[in-house]
Each structure stands twice: as C-alpha cells, then as structure tokens.
Structure 1
Amino acid sequence: MRHLFMIMLVCASMVAGLTGARADVRIAVASNFIEPARALGAVYTAQTGVDWRISHGASGALAAQIENGAPFDLFLSADTDRPAYLDQNGRALDLATYAVGRLVLVLAAGETAPFPQVIEGLRTAVPDPAVAPYGRAGEQVLLGQGFVVAGDAGIVSGDAVRSTPARPALDVVLAPNVSAAASYFAVGAVDAAFVAASLVPAIAAKRDLRVIAMDQGHSPIRQDMALLTDRPEARAAFEWLQSDAAREIIAQAGYDLPERE
C-alpha cells in the first residue's frame, strides 16, 4: 500500500508542478469525524504539501450534495449505507472502512443515577436519525430501553418520546447532526446528549460532564469512505487514510479500528 501511495503522490506532485497550483483534496467529512479529519489533514499536508479542503455535516446531507454534483474527491461517512448507495449509483470508484465509531451519552457531572433512569426527565439531544448515523444508534438504544419513539419516521423534533408503563416520557431535542448535539449540551441548551466519543474532549473543555459508554443496544457504527474522483491526489489520500500512520491518529481520537482486509 505504501508503494501505491508513493506512486499516487508523485503523480499528484507532477500535476501540481505542471499547473503551477498547490495540490489539494476536497473532502466531505461526517460531523463526528471533523476534529480527527483536521488532525489527519495537518499531518498529511506536512508530509506531502497537499492541502485538505474539508467540508462537514450530517452523512445523509453530504451524500445528497454528492449525488447532486458537489465537487468532492473523498467522502468520509459515519455509516456504510451512504457510501454503498453512491457506489451502486456509479458515484464512487472505491470504498473502504476507515473507523468504527463509539456512541456515548454525556450529561452533567452531578447526575449519578444509572442509565436509563438518569435521562428520565432530562432534556436530551439526539442527532436526527434520518440523516445522522449516531442519531440512528441513539434511537436504537432508546427503543431497546423501552421508550416509544414518537412519529412513524423516527424521533420528532421538540416532541417527547412517548411514555410506556415502564418508562416516563423523554424530552428529546432533535439535532441536525452529532456535532450540533454536542454543541447543544456544551452550552447548556440541553441536559444530556447522545454523541460520538471523539467529541468528548471538546465538550469537556467547556463544562464538567459525566460520560456513559453506549457499547451495546445499537448496530455497530462502521464508518466507510468513498473515493469519488480519479484525481491522483484523491487516490493518494484514500490510500494514506488506510496506512498505519493514519490508523494511529484515528485510534487516538477515540475510534475503534476496522480489521485489515
């Protein structure tokens, strides 16, 4: 893989030299992965001179932009479904799993009750399950704990998750993506939030918190990336993201690593 990466990098450098422009890669990144992506981009640029131009948002929203012609070279999704869909529709040239996400519940440090009792009565942010894989995982956890999710299409913004004989209603605030859910909690707009473990350090810098790992009760959050163009810069970055150096940065950011194929 390293040999292929070097070949791609040489090709990219030659193209940049001929055009006189600084080479770059246009990358669409799921919100949960924005900070690791910036760290990876800084290392990559220092090593290669190729800039990463990063845009971020909910995976579903980014996939829709790509389907509508947004000029990205790589798509780092928070799930496997969106890259697979793009591949099936001829919009992706190659796919690979780059990380496995960890879902956590964050709440105020003073909340000491066990889960799920601890969130009963708390205003809780959940990323939109329709577009955010971490929201879909949070929804699965809530359903598994006996809450009834309002609305046929999933959690409804501003509505309570309906009560059952075993569970009182849960006050849910729907966030457009997992970064927004983290921000709502960090500024005190909500009492709790389902977020990616990778976002915890940024939240902890703003307020004291308790973190409960949600290791069970939801499908694995396998995060795939899609190569969208045949530009040498894009292929080189795609290959590098599967390298040992990149995997080490991803693991340090709070993700599990996929098994090598």
Structure 2
Amino acid sequence: MKLWVFVISLTICCLAARTSGAQQVDFVFDEILEAGDLELPYKLNLGLSATAPTRVGVDALLDLREVQKIIPERLADNALVDGCGMQVTLNDLSILADEDTISLDSLLGITRFDCGRISRQDFRRGDELGSFSAQLSTVVSVELRDNCAYLKLPDLTLSGPESTKDRLLQENTLSEVKNFLLAAIDLVLSETPLCPELPAELASLDPIYEKGGPREIGDGGLGVLLSGSIDVAPSTIIDMLLVLQREKVIPAPP
C-alpha cells in the first residue's frame, strides 16, 4: 500500500509541474454537442488536483462560448412554434452568463391565424388575424443527473406591448405562447445533455461529478462547471502516468 501512496504522490507532484501553483494539472479537449441536426463545438477544460492519498479532485469546465455565439445565429427568424393558429419566431436572442447565473432574453414575433377544421383530424391555417412582438426573459438553471449536466428552464416571463395588452390577456395569447415555449424548449434541452467525454487515454479515470452549475467565463461567457472526484485505483494511476509521459510532463521509462 505504501508503494501506491508513493506513486500517487509522485503522480500528483508531476501533475503540479504543469502549473505554477498548487498540485494541479489542466487538460483541454475539443468536444461536440449534438442538438438535433446541429453539431455545436465547445471545449472541455479538465482540472485534476490532489485532495487525498487515494482520491483526486476533478473540475470539468465546459466552455460553451462558441455555442453561445452560434445558437442565436442559427435560431434567428426561425419559427419556435408553427401551428395552425399561431406562429412564434425568435429574434435578437441574447444569452449571457453573470457569475453563477445564465440569463436569456429575446424578442418574439407572434402571429395569430384563423384555424379551421377541414376533417375530423385535420385543420387548415386561414387568414392572419394579427401580429405583435413580445419580450421574453428567463434564467436558465443546471441540473446534474447521471454524470451529465442538463440545462433547465423552470419558468419564463413574457410581456407584450401596452397597446394590445388588454386584448392579449383576454385571448390568453401570452399564456398560450408561454406554455408552447416551455414545452418545446424543455423537450430540446432534455434531449441535449452535456456529458463530458474524456479521450480514450483518460477514459479509465471515470470521474464522478457530485455538483454542477453555471459559470461565467471572461466577460459574460457561457460555461458550466462540474465538480467531483476520481477514485485512484492502481490501474488508473498507470493510465495517468502513461498520459503524463505522452504529454512529456514526466520522462518516459528508460
């Protein structure tokens, strides 16, 4: 057992050689988030640090700034809701991180249509009844489940123009739009978890994430931080040493 403690200590000390401070080393990997037919690139910053003789702490920072840039461009003027009696488009979407909070704001274009039944099961969109803009604002939360981070939208706020406010409230238009959006967004987010995948050479580390949440990167940059630990078994230590040798952090065996 003392031999493995010594090897662990040696490994962690070598890890420290990659940083200027404490016993920690950082790796950066390129990842892809698949959202429907979109492939969204992001970076995984993996930090390993000494926490105990047989455990290594792990922080996985998902740098989503490229996703933050691409999503508003791809969703601009696209219909989030396109039903028989209503169409909702997303305009001027803004996603910002502020410390441990993610805020989302957008201007929605909402158009109502006459919708008539043409058979027992089918409907046909008729004439446009009117259109207006509404302001959407919400805060995105993060739920950690099965070692993955799920973005969640607990609620959202919609506000329409004062000139049509009374009519909109009477028709329950904003309430209807809100329900549609919450259901549609929840479906997309539930099918798009953020699951950090380590490259093959580090796969045996098998970190267990115990908590996670939003994290601002730079000025308003979108990030998600997952924190946990690794149980340092002998096979894991060997894999870590091989990676460190490959990265030239420690010398190769003679």
TM-score normalised over the length of structure 2: 0.30
User: Normalized per residue, which structure has more helix?
Assistant: 1
More strand by share: 2
Which has the higher Rg, Structure 1 or Structure 2? 2
